[in-house]
C-alpha cells in the first residue's frame, strides 16, 4: 500500500502559505478546506493554498509537493482517525462518527493518487471550471542519473496525470488577480 507524505525541498512553502505543513506529514488533497469559500474571492496565501497546496493532516498546513511512500494498513487506519479528529477539532464536524466517513473518503482519494513508483513527487493544480473545482495532478521525476530528491531544481521531467493547464505559472500563483 502507498500513501502521500509532505516533502519540503526548500523553504518556499514557509513563505507562500500561511501555515506550511511539516515535512513528512501524512497528506491529503485538502480541497475540502475551501468548500464554503468562493475561489474567485480568495487572495494572497489563501489563493496559493487553493491553487497548489496539499494538506498536511497532522500540522493542518500546506505543502506544494507530496511524495508517494510505502504505508501499512495500520498507517492508513491511523491517518483516517487523525483526519477524522482534525475534522472535528478544526473543521466543525459534529463528532467522530460523522467525520470518519469523510476522512475515509479523503484518504481513499489520496491513495488513488499513488499509482506511480515509491518516491515519486506529486504536484496539484486547482481551478474552477463550469462552477466546479477541478484538480489536476502531475508527477515530477528526477532527471536521468539522479537517485534522490535533494534540491527543488535538480529534477523535473513532468508526466501529466490529467489534462495539463498550459497557462500555469508557479510565479503567478502568489500574485493577486489582475483587474481590468
State pLDDT tens for residues 19-71.
Answer: 999 999 999 999 999 988 898 899 999 999 999 999 999 999 999 999 999 99
Compute the distance between CA of residue 173 and CA of residue 79 in angstroms, rounded to an integer. 29
Could you give phi then psi for residue 13, rounded to 5 degrees?
-60, -30
- For the segment 67-118, what is each residue's pLDDT rounded down to a tens digit? 999 999 999 999 999 999 999 999 999 999 999 999 999 999 999 999 999 9
* Residue in the block written with cell 490529467: 162
Instruction: Give pLDDT, residue 141.
Output: 74
Instruction: Give pLDDT, residue 155.
Output: 47
Point out which residues pair with 66 in neighbouring strands.
Answer: 6, 122
Compute the distance between CA of residue 158 and CA of residue 152 in angstroms, rounded to an integer. 14
Amino acid at each position: 500500500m502507498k500513501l502521500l507524505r509532505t516533502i519540503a525541498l526548500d523553504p518556499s512553502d514557509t513563505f507562500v502559505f500561511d501555515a506550511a505543513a511539516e515535512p513528512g506529514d501524512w497528506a491529503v488533497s485538502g480541497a475540502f478546506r475551501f468548500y464554503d469559500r468562493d475561489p474567485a474571492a480568495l487572495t494572497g496565501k489563501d489563493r496559493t493554498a487553493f491553487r497548489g497546496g496539499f494538506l498536511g493532516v497532522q500540522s493542518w498546513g500546506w505543502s506544494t509537493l507530496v511524495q508517494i511512500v510505502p504505508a501499512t494498513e495500520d498507517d492508513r487506519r491511523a491517518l483516517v482517525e487523525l483526519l477524522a479528529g482534525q475534522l472535528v477539532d478544526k473543521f466543525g464536524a459534529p463528532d467522530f462518527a460523522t467525520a470518519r466517513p469523510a476522512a475515509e473518503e479523503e484518504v481513499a482519494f489520496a491513495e488513488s493518487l499513488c499509482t506511480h513508483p515509491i518516491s515519486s513527487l506529486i504536484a496539484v493544480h486547482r481551478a474552477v471550471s463550469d462552477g466546479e473545482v477541478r484538480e489536476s495532478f502531475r508527477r515530477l521525476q528526477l532527471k536521468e542519473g539522479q537517485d534522490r530528491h535533494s534540491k527543488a531544481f535538480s529534477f523535473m521531467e513532468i508526466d501529466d496525470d490529467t489534462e495539463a493547464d498550459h497557462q500555469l505559472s508557479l510565479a503567478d500563483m502568489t500574485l493577486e488577480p489582475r483587474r481590468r
